């Protein structure tokens, strides 16, 4: 999943939210590197990614995308699912998305001491540009074009937003089957560690 889903799936614990947000920027063993609840957020991030990779709806979404996108199909599905989450936010949260993004940013910034430097550099763009634009095709297009440049080698990501439009109904249906199951999975993980 991409940033919006990871934030949304963190429950109401600021440290878990911070760790979940950091997941793509922290590699290797976690023991002793971060406070315990931030570590739980990092573990949750990894479990969410594993759950997604194995889920039949996520796999179906990857297969919908043209084979020429290769290994980038998973990255694209992550971002497309954030689009569907943003576009249908009221279905998954009572809190307005703008308020959720602002609150999440405040939490992440308040725990900046734990953030990897690479994440610190992109926090303004994540909360100021990317997340607020995810509900629109144009926003997804901009993010994919930026990602294509950052990869640093030839890749097809700049054309990826066309796949969102081409496969829209099928991807939306896959997301509708997938996301409630992922919400339950995340809630159960957090519930187990809080017992």
Mean pLDDT within 25-45? 92
Q: Can you list the alpha helix ranges (DSSP code H) found in the chain? A: 3-8, 14-22, 36-54, 56-64, 72-87, 89-92, 97-110, 117-125, 131-133, 137-151, 160-166, 168-193
Instruction: Report in angstroms the alpha-carbon separations of 126 from 15, 17, 87, 120, 139.
Output: 18, 15, 17, 10, 12
Residue 126 has pLDDT above 80, yes or no: yes
Q: The pTM is what?
A: 0.94
Residue-wise pLDDT for 48-94, tens only, equals 999 999 999 999 999 999 999 999 999 999 999 999 999 999 999 99
Residues 99, 41: Cα–Cα separation, whole Å: 21
Residue 188 has pLDDT above 90, yes or no: yes
Residues 77, 72: Cα–Cα separation, whole Å: 9
Band of residue 30 on the pLDDT scale cut at 50, 70, 90: confident
């Amino acid at each position: 999943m991409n940033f919006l889903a990871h934030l949304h799936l963190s429950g109401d614990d600021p440290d878990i939210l911070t760790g979940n947000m950091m997941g793509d920027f922290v590699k290797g063993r976690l023991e002793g590197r971060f406070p315990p609840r931030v570590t739980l957020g990092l573990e949750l991030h990894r479990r969410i990614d594993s759950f997604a990779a194995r889920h039949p709806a996520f796999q179906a979404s990857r297969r919908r995308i043209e084979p020429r996108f290769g290994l980038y199909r998973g990255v694209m599905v992550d971002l497309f699912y954030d689009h569907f989450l943003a576009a249908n936010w009221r279905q998954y949260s009572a809190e307005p998305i703008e308020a959720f993004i602002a609150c999440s940013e405040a939490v992440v910034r308040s725990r900046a001491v734990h953030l990897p430097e690479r994440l610190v550099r992109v926090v303004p763009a994540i909360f100021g540009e990317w997340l607020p634009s995810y509900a629109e095709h144009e926003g997804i297009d901009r993010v994919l074009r930026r990602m294509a440049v950052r990869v640093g080698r030839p890749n097809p990501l700049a054309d990826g937003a066309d796949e969102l439009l081409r496969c829209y109904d099928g991807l939306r249906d896959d997301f509708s089957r997938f996301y409630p199951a992922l919400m339950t999975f995340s809630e159960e993980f957090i519930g187990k560690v809080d017992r």
